[in-house]
């Protein structure tokens, strides 16, 4: 009974650390102009630290996830909780643009990855019931970043220079993340001599890590996550600029992003409840189809009210479906390798996210508008839907040595 109650502590710790980790990365858009104006570095050069951060998060996710399978989520999360504040502090002292790109992008992105995949993995191991809701709540904590850490960074940089702001953010991150990491415990299912042994209801427990990574189930999850994130990456990054081209003032255009973020909070909870009731796979597939048409709807938006309406629906959907990948992974792969599996899907998602800013910029330069970005996002979304539709769970009656 105690473990049943403590699992919600794990959810709270994961949500808090995820919020600070993602919020630390997304402090860069707030600090972009102050950094560029103070140092003389180009806006493009400073903002490229975010692209480096996404790429670092992508490749580090698989490594941290695999390490958490071996030494536990608590140890890996604690490493991230120490490394991320240290990276913020180092970035505050960057003497050159290249140093800033490496310290902010490479180090902070890599440190954030030590939190996300291991903590989601840990939460899936603590829950046999309400698993979709639990993972969605952790994701909701991460989704709080634009409403907590970003305003904090904005307030700080309005009263201090950007270097001092990063140092204060580092202190806040350390004060919040290190105690939260110490609360993390190993899932009860992994404790004991029989942890990880094959069971009659889960014949896929006989899989080796290599076989799991070559299985059709894993490949489908990875490809789906890549195309899914590529679908919403462009709209997330470029909708404010698109709204400005439609004649909407900048301040009002920025509020579209806030509406999208608030809707995403509800989406995470809503899709979590739906996943528990109807099954993660079914809800994910239908959600991917809805996401594709949600992205396409931006083509028809012109006024602020229309943008708000589309942003509400689109934000609710894309944020809601993301936690379901971890739930589907937990339902089909052994817990002992969950960090590797979820880390692999997180890597694919981060690579998908990295495509949007570049693709949107190229499309705007080529066509002097953003309509084709949303048409392309729709096509990527349909691809994600079709790929996800091919997912078939491991058979229950015999060992699923899919890659044998």
Within 10 angstroms of residue 297's Cβ, the number of other Cβ atoms is 18
Confidence of residue 82 (pLDDT cuts 50, 70, 90): very high
User: What pLDDT was estimated at residue 336?
Assistant: 83
The pLDDT of residue 7 is above 70: yes
User: What pLDDT was estimated at residue 398?
Assistant: 46
CB 48 within 8 A of CB 101: yes
Q: Identify the residue with better confidence: 197 or 98.
A: 98
Fold of the CATH domain 205-389: Growth Hormone; Chain: A; (1.20.1250)
pTM (two decimals): 0.78
Average per-residue pLDDT for the chain? 87
Q: What is the DSSP string of 92-149?
A: HT--SHHHHIIIIIIIIHHHHHHHHHHHHHHHHHH-SSSHHHHHHHHHHHHHTHHHHH
Confidence of residue 219 (pLDDT cuts 50, 70, 90): very high
82, 65, 193, 332: CA torsion to nearest 10: 150
The pLDDT of residue 2 is above 70: no
Beta bridge partners of 199: 202
Within 10 angstroms of residue 210's Cβ, the number of other Cβ atoms is 9
Confidence of residue 225 (pLDDT cuts 50, 70, 90): very high
pLDDT tens for 134-185 read 888 888 888 788 778 878 888 898 899 999 999 999 999 999 999 999 999 9
Within 10 angstroms of residue 164's Cβ, the number of other Cβ atoms is 13
pLDDT tens for 102-127 read 999 899 999 999 998 899 889 988 88
Fold of the CATH domain 2-185: Growth Hormone; Chain: A; (1.20.1250)
Q: Rounded to an integer, what is the distance from CA 6 to the centroid of its chain?
A: 24
d(CA 203, CA 397): 7
**Element (H or E) spanning 273, and its range?**
helix 250-278
CB 113 within 8 A of CB 60: yes
pLDDT tens for 245-298 read 899 987 787 788 778 888 988 898 899 889 989 999 999 999 999 999 999 999
Domain boundaries, the chain: 2-185, 205-389
- The answer to whether domain 2-185 and domain 205-389 are alike in fold is yes
Confidence of residue 360 (pLDDT cuts 50, 70, 90): confident
User: What pLDDT was estimated at residue 396?
Assistant: 65
d(CA 62, CA 341): 8
Within 10 angstroms of residue 369's Cβ, the number of other Cβ atoms is 12
User: What pLDDT was estimated at residue 192?
Assistant: 53
User: What pLDDT was estimated at residue 355?
Assistant: 84
Within 10 angstroms of residue 82's Cβ, the number of other Cβ atoms is 17
pLDDT exceeding 90 applies to what percent of the chain? 48
Q: What is the mean pLDDT of residues 64-88?
A: 93
Query: Distances from the Cα of 203 to the Cαs of 84, 197, 209, 398, in angstroms?
Result: 39, 10, 14, 6
Q: What is the mean pLDDT of residues 65-93?
A: 94
139, 134, 347, 404: CA torsion to nearest 10: -170
DSSP code of residue 398: S
d(CA 32, CA 29): 5
The helices-and-strands tally (H runs, E runs) of the chain is 17, 0
In 3D space, the residue among 217, 209, 211 whose CA is nearest the CA of residue 387 turns out to be 217
252 Cβ contact partners less than 8 Å away, ≥ 6 residues apart: 243, 304
Longest distance between any two alpha carbons in the chain, whole Å: 65
162 Cβ contact partners less than 8 Å away, ≥ 6 residues apart: 31, 34, 35, 38, 92
């Amino acid at each position: 009974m105690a473990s049943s109650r403590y699992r919600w502590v794990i959810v709270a710790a994961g949500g808090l650390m995820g919020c600070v980790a993602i919020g630390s990365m997304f402090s860069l858009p707030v600090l972009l102009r102050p950094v560029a104006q103070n140092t003389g570095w180009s806006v493009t050069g400073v903002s490229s630290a975010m692209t480096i951060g996404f790429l670092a998060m992508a490749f580090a996710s698989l490594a941290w996830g695999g390490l958490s399978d071996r030494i536990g989520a608590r140890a890996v999360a604690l490493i991230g909780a120490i490394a991320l504040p240290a990276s913020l502090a180092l970035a505050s002292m960057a003497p050159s643009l290249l140093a800033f790109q490496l310290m902010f992008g490479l180090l902070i992105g890599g440190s954030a990855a030590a939190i996300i995949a291991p903590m989601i993995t840990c939460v899936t191991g603590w829950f046999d019931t309400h698993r979709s809701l639990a993972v969605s709540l952790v994701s909701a904590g991460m989704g709080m970043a634009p409403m907590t850490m970003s305003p904090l960074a904005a307030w700080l940089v309005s009263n201090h220079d950007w270097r001092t702001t990063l140092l204060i953010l580092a202190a806040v991150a350390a004060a919040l993340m290190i105690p939260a990491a110490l609360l993390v415990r190993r899932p009860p299912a992994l404790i004991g001599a029989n942890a990880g042994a094959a069971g009659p209801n889960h014949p896929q427990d006989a899989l080796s890590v290599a076989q799991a990574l070559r299985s059709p189930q894993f490949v489908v999850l990875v490809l789906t996550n890549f195309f899914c994130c590529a679908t919403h990456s462009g709209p997330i990054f470029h909708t404010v600029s698109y709204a400005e081209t439609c004649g909407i003032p900048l301040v009002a255009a920025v509020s579209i992003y806030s509406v999208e973020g608030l809707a995403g909070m509800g989406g995470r909870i809503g899709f979590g409840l739906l996943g528990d009731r109807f099954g993660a796979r079914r809800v994910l597939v239908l959600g991917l189809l809805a996401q594709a048409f949600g992205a396409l709807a931006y083509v028809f938006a012109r006024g602020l009210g229309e943008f708000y309406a589309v942003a509400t629906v689109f934000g609710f959907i894309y944020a809601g479906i993301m936690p379901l990948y971890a739930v589907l992974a937990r339902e089909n792969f052994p817990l002992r390798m969950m960090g590797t599996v979820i880390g692999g899907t997180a890597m694919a998602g981060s690579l998908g996210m990295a495509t949007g800013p570049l693709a949107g910029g190229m499309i705007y330069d080529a066509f002097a508008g953003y309509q084709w970005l949303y048409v392309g996002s729709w096509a990527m979304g349909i691809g994600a839907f079709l790929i996800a539709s091919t997912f078939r769970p491991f058979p229950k009656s015999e060992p699923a040595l899919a890659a044998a």
